[in-house]
Structure 1
Amino acid sequence: MSSPVSQESTRRRLTRQQAETVARLTDAAVEVLNAEGFEGLTVRSVAKLAGVAPATAYTYFSSKSHLVAEVFWRRLSAGVSQPDPTASKAERVAQVLREVALVVAGEGQLGGAVTVALLGTYPDVEHLRIRIGVFIRRRLAEALEDDPENPSPLLDALEMIYAGGLVHAGMGHMTYEETSERLVAAAHLLMEK
């Protein structure tokens, strides 16, 4: 069964066959990343591994940064659930922060590649960066019972903490698992004030 995200792309709504092609490309991108790193990743090499013509791959992804950002968006939207309404606010925030941090845990070189890719200036990457930010803000707002359109200072602070934590982990200073627990601890400190 496919999710709504698997049927969309940065550039357009996808047919079932197109969605399958994009899924093959994003899966192949992770394999190439783990074998060659971000520097060795190319849309062409991903297309070859996925069994897709390079021209077809470029109709979906304008650059390797766009491709990696799409992988992250798909993993994030599938891996960060709505906060548990029966849990306390602190537990809900912890759930969201853990899930955001663990989306790329154990994925080899994907985390570092996501950090580099999301800092890119390509319009398709910028579109995904905004979509990712809005998604995480909404999840945190749901956890806090806050308004994502008019965020509280606490929501703003939590966004800064997760963004810094993920960049820190993406640079290889700590694992995503360690980052997850540090994010949760920082959130608890903020929420206790």
Structure 2
Amino acid sequence: MSSDVVAALADPPRQTPRNRRQEETFRKVLSAGVEMLRQTSYADLTVRAVAARAKVAPATAYTYFSSKNHLIAEVYLDLVRQVEYFTDVNDSAVSRVEKTLRSMALMVADEPEVAAACTTALLSGNDPAVRAVRERIGAEIHRRIRAAVGPDGDPRTLAALEMTFFGALVNAGSGAFTYHQIADRLSYVVGLIVGEDR
């Protein structure tokens, strides 16, 4: 992976800033979406139903979320942004990266409906709005891994960790492994990629 590609990953696509009122409405609809995902299946969720739960007009919800998949992708991005950064220099790079990947892998581990909906939404087609959110998710994950590896991290190491993490998510999303199982496997793989002595 070239350093240009890594640099591109580090700078997420720009969003049009929202004013305070718009941000409050966005968060209200997003929160209603998370609540509904925890109680219903992907198939049963609609932007209209989320709007009703958030007590906003459907047109207002559609102002922020062009589709159900766009809404769910934003839910996942919000969950990623809530994951703690692990940057304590007293911990080894292996430990920091392990904690980072484990935290991100487990953020939906105990919420199967949310996990299934996020997997479906993020892997669906070529909706430009979902694609833009996927790029922002990738940038968030890249930032957390880069912070955990440290300032002198080799771009190839970062790329290998990211590819490993995304591959692990696909395995969990497909049902091949549970999120807890991939978190354990990631711990082993981090040692191989980052090296035990760092």
TM range (shorter): 0.7 to 0.9
Q: Say whether residues 1:131 and 2:136 are aligned partners.
A: yes
CA contact (8 A) 1:83 1:139 kept: no
Point out where structure 1 has 5 or more consecutive residues left out of the alignment: 1-9
State the AA in 2 paired with 1:58: Y
In structure 2, relative to structure 1, the CA distance for the partners of 1:50 and 1:166 (3 Å cut) is same
CA contact (8 A) 1:83 1:95 kept: no
d(CA) in 1 for partners of 2:110, 2:21: 29
CA contact (8 A) 1:90 1:188 kept: yes
Counterpart position of 1:111: 115
Counterpart position of 1:74: 78
1:33, distance to aligned residue in structure 2 (A): 2.0
State the AA in 1 paired with 2:98: A
d(CA) in 1 for partners of 2:178, 2:76: 17
> Cα deviations across residues 12-40 of structure 1 (Å, max 9, x unaligned)?
32222222222221122122223331111
Q: Say whether residues 1:31 and 2:49 are aligned partners.
A: no
Partner SS for 2:155: coil
State the AA in 2 paired with 1:137: H
d(CA) in 2 for partners of 1:136, 1:119: 17
| TM-score, length-scaled by structure 1 | 0.84
CA contact (8 A) 1:113 1:170 kept: no
Single out whichever of 107-116 and 44-53 deviates more from structure 2.
107-116
1:173, distance to aligned residue in structure 2 (A): 3.0
d(CA) in 2 for partners of 1:88, 1:147: 13
Counterpart position of 1:159: 162
1:72, distance to aligned residue in structure 2 (A): 0.9
In structure 2, relative to structure 1, the CA distance for the partners of 1:151 and 1:71 (3 Å cut) is same
> RCO (CA 8 Å, sep 6+): is it higher in 1 or 2?
2
> Cα deviations across residues 101-159 of structure 1 (Å, max 9, x unaligned)?
122222231112111111231111111111111221222122223578x722x222211
1:83, distance to aligned residue in structure 2 (A): 2.5
d(CA) in 1 for partners of 2:89, 2:70: 34
Which one of 43, 55, 79 corresponds to residue 51 of structure 1?
55
Counterpart position of 1:169: 172
Partner SS for 2:52: helix
CA RMSD of aligned residues (A): 2.1
d(CA) in 1 for partners of 2:174, 2:87: 28
1:75, distance to aligned residue in structure 2 (A): 1.2
CA contact (8 A) 2:85 2:147 kept: no
> Cα deviations across residues 161-182 of structure 1 (Å, max 9, x unaligned)?
1101111112233332222121
Tell me how many residue pairs correspond in the alignment: 182
Point out where structure 2 has 5 or more consecutive residues left out of the alignment: 1-13
Percentage of identical aligned residues: 42
